[in-house]
């Protein structure tokens, strides 16, 4: 037990100064044990930062608004906090081609304190004020004070002065209810708790601070149009690595070879955005710069205008097969393409490739996946790849205009199809699983979500909050509740159940305590845990009361989600229902439990269709698009 703090101890109440019971015997640990302990403690940091998501988002908006109006973001702190601010500020010019004076980092004691501590510098509030006076801080600026303790005098003095001149103030601290939190306009307070090495805030507190600063400048620069999708198109190519990155960016977006990308960059003074727009628009560098100025430096609006004003370009030498259509279902795991006959809808070839979510794998990789699955579908049909009559795509990660522009540009430059149609998951499922494309679509696999679509085309959704906030009725939630029940049974708190021995056998574990390292440090991530759902279903079918109650409860939760999707759109309670996802499609027992739960809330499915392959819905949409009158041939909006 720690001795009591002496009266007046200024550090006594700080969470970051408390002793961490997990590391009380730190000096007795082996190196392997020390690493495991520190890694486990570090794993809690991201969650602490996540709890501050709303405050960080507000800070991003405040910074972006003031930078757009000509203001600056000024970081300041002492020791590790000051160094982190200086590092983040120094990374902005090469990353976003921002002026060196736009994001500034100050550290107590001056630049030399980056490398060697300057004793006493952090204890002077007057020094913090003086450093801001030197920069002539004004009302249009943002001053972000960084102090893990929340009580550093240098930072508090600077923040007080910044507020006196009307600047917007942000505080980043890892101690709740600190002086800094009370002193600023907006506080970001990721509470990470005691450090492994007591009081050493360069550890978890430093990591949390770095994460927050990463979000702050990256988010603000994205808001300012410094990116295109997730591409760093406003970088300054100041070294060999960045020059190579600039070349790759131009190749990726403009779809040119490396030599042509180099020539474009030379002609455009090394500016990536200008090179991209010049190539895609067929403009001179000066005209491309003017287009970008008119759009506030954003590539998306410029390319959107070009896409509406231009017609597709057929790839030279590619045959034209207007009698064929393509349907694609692309997500974060894989991408499926079906090549089908326009007249009959018969599938001639199926191709599968990797993930095509451009938000998670990047534009270049995502577009390569689309081309690969199309190539494989033609190969499966023993046909040469050709320009088809129409293509319909349901793609994860493509629900904003920038993403749509990327897909449209890919299709037009590659001569993929005469007509392009993009859709969300709901449209694909309802096209494949309902007579007229409207009704209710429910997905229960690893996660869960419900979509509804009215006959007029209005779309609503419920669920889909992810495994931390939702996913009721999903395979993950079914397995998780089963694992929890098994652990409670092992403690003789919950009801006896056959789930524990079944889980241990399925997971190749010897005894109940082995679940702890398996789940927290082993291979059992979210997807793997979801794969344990059949254990619960099998136990329920065998008559296990605990498992049976879990299945009924989760089916009821999923039905509640589906019912809300229907009623939020004021749809009739008797309506077509399309079911998808491994849990609903693969388990008759669970599907029955879900349909019974729907009936209990007065939803009457009529008819019920299981959709094993959503790409079939994309084929249906592609055929409809191909049969539109000529005046509608450019249909490519997101549905």
User: Mean pLDDT per 10-residue run, the chain (639 residues)?
Assistant: 49 62 78 86 86 90 89 92 92 85 90 77 86 92 92 92 93 90 92 81 88 92 80 73 82 79 84 83 82 79 55 57 90 82 91 78 80 91 91 75 77 86 76 83 84 84 81 91 92 89 87 84 76 91 93 94 90 88 86 92 88 84 80 42
Q: Is it true that 46-223 and 322-423 share their CATH fold?
A: no
The question of whether 126 is a catalytic residue gets the answer: no
d(CA 155, CA 146): 7
Query: Alpha-carbon dihedral of residues 11, 17, 20, 23, nearest 10 degrees?
Result: -120
Superfamily of domain 466-602 in CATH is: ATPase, nucleotide binding domain (3.30.420.40)
pLDDT at 638 (0 to 100): 39
| Cβ contact 417:391 at 8 Å | yes
Q: What pLDDT shows up at residue 594?
A: 93
**Surface-to-core class of residue 32, CB atoms within 10 Å of its CB (0-12 exposed, 13-18 middle, 19+ buried):** exposed
Q: Which SS3 state, helix, strand or coil, does residue 325 take?
A: strand
Active-site residue identified among 91, 538, 541, 549: 91
- Would you say 433 and 334 are in contact if contact means Cβ atoms under 8 Å apart? no
Rounded to an integer, what distance in angstroms lies between the CA atom of residue 440 and that of residue 571?
9
Partner residues linked to 325 by β-bridges: 340, 390
Report pLDDT for 400.
63
Q: Cα(417)–Cα(414) distance, rounded to whole angstroms? A: 9
Asked if residue 293 lies in contact with residue 268, where contact means CB atoms within 8 angstroms, the answer is no
Q: In 3D, which of 388, 330, 329, 378 has the Cα closest to residue 350? A: 378
Reference 268, options 255, 257, 259, 279; nearest CA is 279
What is the bridge-based pairing of β-strands 142-146 and 168-172? parallel
* Architecture of domain 240-309 in this structure: Orthogonal Bundle (1.10)
How many whole angstroms separate alpha carbon 598 and alpha carbon 587?
Answer: 17
Helix (H) or strand (E) holding 339, with range, is strand 335-341
CATH class as words, domain 322-423? alpha beta
Confidence (pLDDT) at 333: 66
| 576/597 Cα distance (integer angstroms) | 16
> What is the architecture, at CATH level 2, of domain 46-223?
3-Layer(aba) Sandwich (3.40)
Contact 74, 135 (CB under 8 A): yes
Catalytic-residue membership of 541: no
pTM, full prediction = 0.50
Q: What is the pLDDT of residues 247-258, one digit of tens each?
A: 888 887 777 788
In 3-state terms, what secondary structure has residue 590?
Answer: helix
**Domain ranges across the chain:** 46-223, 240-309, 322-423, 466-602
Tally of residues, the chain: 639
Determine how β-strand 142-146 pairs with β-strand 103-107.
Answer: unpaired
What is the torsion angle, in degrees rounded to the nearest 10, for the CA atoms of residue 397, residue 403, residue 409 and residue 415? 20
Q: Active site residue: 17, 122, 195, 554, which one? A: 122
DSSP 571: -
């Amino acid at each position: 037990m720690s001795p009591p703090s002496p009266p007046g101890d200024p550090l006594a109440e700080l969470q970051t100064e408390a002793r961490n019971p997990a590391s009380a015997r730190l000096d007795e640990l082996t190196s392997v044990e020390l690493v495991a302990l520190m890694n486990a403690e570090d794993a809690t940091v991201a969650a602490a930062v996540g709890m501050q998501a709303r405050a960080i988002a507000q800070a991003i908006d405040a910074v972006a608004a003031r930078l757009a109006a000509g203001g600056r973001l000024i970081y300041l702190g002492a020791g590790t906090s000051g160094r982190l601010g200086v590092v983040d500020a120094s990374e902005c010019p090469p990353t976003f081609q921002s002026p060196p004076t736009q994001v500034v980092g100050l550290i107590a004691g001056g630049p030399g304190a980056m490398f060697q501590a300057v004793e006493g510098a952090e204890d002077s509030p007057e020094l913090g004020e003086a450093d801001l006076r030197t920069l002539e801080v004004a009302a249009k600026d943002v001053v972000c004070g960084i102090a893990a303790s929340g009580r550093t005098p240098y930072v508090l003095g600077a923040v007080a002065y910044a507020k006196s001149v009307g600047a917007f103030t942000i505080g980043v601290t890892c101690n709740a209810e600190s002086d800094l939190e009370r002193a600023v306009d907006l506080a970001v307070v990721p509470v990470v708790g005691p450090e492994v090495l007591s009081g050493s805030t360069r550890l978890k507190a430093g990591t949390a601070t770095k994460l927050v600063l990463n979000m702050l400048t990256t988010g603000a620069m994205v808001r300012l149009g410094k990116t295109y999708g997730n591409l760093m198109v406003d970088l300054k190519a100041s070294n060999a690595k960045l020059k190579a990155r600039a070349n790759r960016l131009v190749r990726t977006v403009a779809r040119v070879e490396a030599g042509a990308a180099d020539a474009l960059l030379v002609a455009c003074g090394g500016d990536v955005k200008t090179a991209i727009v010049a190539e895609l628009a067929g403009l001179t560098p000066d005209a491309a710069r003017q287009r970008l100025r008119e759009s506030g430096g954003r590539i998306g609006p410029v390319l959107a205008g070009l896409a509406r004003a231009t017609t597709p370009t057929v790839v030279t030498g590619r045959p034209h097969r207007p009698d064929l259509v393509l349907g694609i279902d692309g997500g974060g795991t894989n991408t499926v393409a079906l090549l089908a006959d326009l007249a009959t809808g018969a599938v001639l070839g199926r191709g599968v490739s990797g993930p095509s979510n451009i938000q998670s794998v990047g534009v270049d990789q995502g577009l390569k996946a689309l081309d690969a699955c199309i190539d494989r579908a033609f190969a499966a049909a023993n046909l040469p790849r050709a320009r088809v009559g129409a293509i319909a795509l349901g793609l994860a990660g493509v629900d904003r205009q920038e993403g749509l522009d990327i897909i449209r540009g890919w299709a037009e430059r590659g001569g993929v199809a005469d007509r392009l149609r993009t859709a969300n998951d709901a449209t694909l499922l309802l096209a494949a699983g309902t007579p007229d494309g409207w009704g209710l679509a429910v997905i229960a696999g690893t996660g869960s979500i419900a979509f509804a679509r009215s006959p007029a085309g209005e779309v609503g959704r419920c669920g889909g909050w992810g495994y931390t906030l939702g996913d009721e009725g999903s395979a993950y939630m079914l397995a998780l509740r089963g694992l929890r029940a098994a652990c409670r049974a092992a403690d003789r708190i919950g009801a006896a159940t056959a789930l524990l021995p079944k889980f241990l056998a399925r997971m190749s574990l010897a005894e109940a305590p082995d679940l702890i390292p398996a789940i927290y440090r082993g291979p059992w991530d979210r997807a793997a845990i979801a794969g344990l759902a059949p254990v619960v279903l099998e136990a329920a079918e065998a008559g296990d009361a605990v498992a049976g109650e879990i299945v009924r409860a989760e089916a009821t939760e999923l039905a509640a989600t589906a019912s809300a999707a229907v009623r939020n759109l004021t749809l009739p309670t008797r309506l077509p229902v399309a079911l998808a996802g491994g849990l609903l499609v693969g388990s008759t027992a669970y599907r029955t439990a879900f349909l019974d739960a729907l009936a209990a809330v007065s939803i009457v499915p009529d008819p019920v269709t299981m959709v094993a392959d959503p790409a079939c819905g994309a084929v249906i949409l592609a055929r409809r698009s191909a049969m539109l009158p000529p005046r509608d041939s450019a249909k490519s909006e997101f549905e």
